[in-house]
Amino acid sequence: MQAITKVATLGGGCFWCTDTIYRRIIGVTNVQPGYANGTTPNPTYKQVCTGSTGHAEVIQFNYDPNVVSFDNILRIFFTIHDPTTKDR
């Protein structure tokens, strides 16, 4: 079976935590932390941490749906992330 690569981007409040988890998932590759949205072009980590740039910390990665389903990716995400917590 040929590998299929799809891309997912998840914002979990802190990319350090989500980055570490998704790097360990079989079928997930090329995990890259970064920022989404916001008003400051090319912000630094320190700027984003102030909360004044409007950016969210995210990870973007490739995954093979023949190895790990998107449903499982989301199950993992909502196990490690509580979207009802302010600023997460």
39 three-state secondary structure? coil
Of 8, 10, 13, 14, the catalytic one is 14
The torsion angles phi and psi of 73, rounded to 5 degrees, stand at: -60, -45
- The β-bridge relationship of strands 6-11 and 28-37 is unpaired
Active site residue 14: yes
- Residue 8's beta-bridge partner residues? 61
Query: Which residues form the catalytic set?
Result: 14
